[in-house]
Amino acid sequence: MKYPPEPFRIKTIEAITRTTDWERLAIIQDAGFNVFNIPAEKIYIDLLTDSGTSAMSDNQWAGMMLGDESYAGSKNYFHFEKMIHKIFGFKYVIPTHQGRVAENLLFSTILKDKPGLVIPNNNHFDTTRANVEYNGGIATDLVVDIAKDTQVLDNFKGNIDLKKLTALIEEVGAERIPIGMLTITNNSGGGQPVSMENIRGTSELLHKHGIPFFIDACRFAENAYFIKTREPGYRDKSIMDIANEMFSYADGCTMSAKKDGLVNMGGFFATNNEELAQQITNRLILIEGFPTYGGLAGRDLEAIARGLEEVLHEDYLAYRISQVEELGDRLIDAGVPILRPAGGHAIYLDAKGFLPHIPQSQFPGIALTVALYTHAGIRAVEIGSLMFAHKDPITGEVQYPDLELVRLAIPRRVYTNSQMQYVAENIIEIYETRTAIRGYDIEYEAAVLRHFTARLKPRS
């Protein structure tokens, strides 16, 4: 079966309401044409993010009732630690309340008082980049070149370019690279997976130069499923075996459990390096809490432990990946330009191709997010000029990003396939009437991270 059906049935539901066209026009105007400003209750299908938006299972909810809220040594911590040992294999496990805290702990420790150190990655996610840069480091993206072409089909467009990594090590010197990283799957690069061969190659290259290797593991199970289905030699291996192998090459990882932990809040840092674990634990106590809870309740740790077990089920992953793929296929069949192939957690619309009559200076990605909302109550996120265009500090000229994307991130186990069909049909309708869509001007913008709070107005 090309698109395997849901391997679950629905036991409890959350009502969502459909607003009228007129209501949505008033709402988007009040929101300054920025979908971040819309009350979530006024959204019909919310594809803003796959982070912290998963539906938990009955098994996870049952586990929540077994939360042991002891300050120190909660039994749920030991279950959480056991699962992480089993899947990731790292010796030291440090819970955090979400992924970016794990990143903050790592970079504030390894970059402390040493400005100008370089961190290579396939593509840093924006919080990872921010944590590197805030701590005085230089975040360098070395993804393979084909990742920049939205139409090239390749199994592993998330791979790091090992030639670029070799050149970087030669250029700056291994002593200025405290760690190297891979983000699996590569969220900033379209949710594309990284192959086992590339993970192994990255590990060998870094270790040859004495550089530790870390993985951003947010979507590790989706990545493992792509390896199983796309990489020679892995078809008969279990997802657990593949995950074990992926992490066996690394010295540690950061993870936001809000993705493949199948929970609404949580994360962790894990490593084999005792000294690093000790330094990070000391900082953890300062900013998150005691080492056996790290900013989470006991019940949250239990939900993550159970989520990590469930996310490895192959029937879940087959359904998950194919639900996203099916949305992509429906759009491709109708000629809608999307980043190809479909990512693991999201479809990325190519706003430049969708709205070629709107120049980058007039935010085609924003125009598309507004159309998705006003037409159908769907919320997506612009990953284009509002997020990334910036003035060159020397010439003062505005630098635009290569790609203008709109991400439709699919929450895990949340929307039915008929809701996904609704999404596809409405995008196709918008595509058929796209020439009527206008560009936008900014009315208000903050100095940093302007996309969250900007207010815009349509051009007349």
- Give the interface with ligand F0G as residue ranges (CB under 6 A): 49, 51, 98-100, 125, 127-128, 183, 187, 216, 218, 256, 258, 267
Nearer to ligand F0G, 186 or 362 (CB): 186
β-strands 398-399, 390-391 pairing = antiparallel
CB 105, min distance to ligand F0G, A: 12
Nearer to ligand F0G, 87 or 253 (CB): 253
Nearer to ligand F0G, 184 or 351 (CB): 184
CB 183, min distance to ligand F0G, A: 5
Instruction: Reduce the DSSP state of residue 454 to 3 states and report it.
Output: coil
Which residue's CB atom is positioned nearest to ligand F0G? 99
How far apart (Å, rounded) are the C-alpha atoms in residues 217 and 268? 10
CB 295, min distance to ligand F0G, A: 11
Nearer to ligand F0G, 345 or 439 (CB): 345
Angle at which helices 220-230 and 314-333 pack, to 10 degrees? 80
Q: Which long-range contacts (CB under 8 A, 24 or more apart) does 27-31 make?
A: 28/370, 28/373, 28/374
Nearer to ligand F0G, 198 or 362 (CB): 198
Nearer to ligand F0G, 51 or 292 (CB): 51
| ∠ CA 416-422-423, rounded to 5° | 95
CB 99, min distance to ligand F0G, A: 3
Nearer to ligand F0G, 444 or 452 (CB): 452
CB 197, min distance to ligand F0G, A: 21
The residue ranges of DSSP E strands in 225-345, in sequence order, are: 252-256, 267-271
Nearer to ligand F0G, 99 or 364 (CB): 99
How far apart (Å, rounded) are the C-alpha atoms in residues 287 and 258? 20
What are the angstrom distances between the C-alpha of 241 and each of 88, 313, 377, 440?
A: 10, 12, 41, 49
CB 289, min distance to ligand F0G, A: 16
Count CB atoms within 10 A of the CB of residue 106.
29
β-strands 118-121, 138-141 pairing = parallel
Buried b (16+ CB within 10 A) or exposed e, 332-368: eeeebbbbbbbbbbbbbbbbbbbbeebebebbbbbbb
Angle at which helices 314-333 and 417-432 pack, to 10 degrees? 20
CB 215, min distance to ligand F0G, A: 10
Please state whether the peptide bond connecting residue 183 to the residue before it is cis, i.e. omega within 30 degrees of 0: no
| ∠ CA 382-383-386, rounded to 5° | 75
CB 140, min distance to ligand F0G, A: 16
How far apart (Å, rounded) are the C-alpha atoms in residues 271 and 24? 48
Nearer to ligand F0G, 99 or 212 (CB): 99
How far apart (Å, rounded) are the C-alpha atoms in residues 63 and 59? 6
CB 280, min distance to ligand F0G, A: 16
CB 240, min distance to ligand F0G, A: 22
Nearer to ligand F0G, 169 or 410 (CB): 410
Give the residue from 63, 93, 419 showing the smallest Cα distance to 273.
93
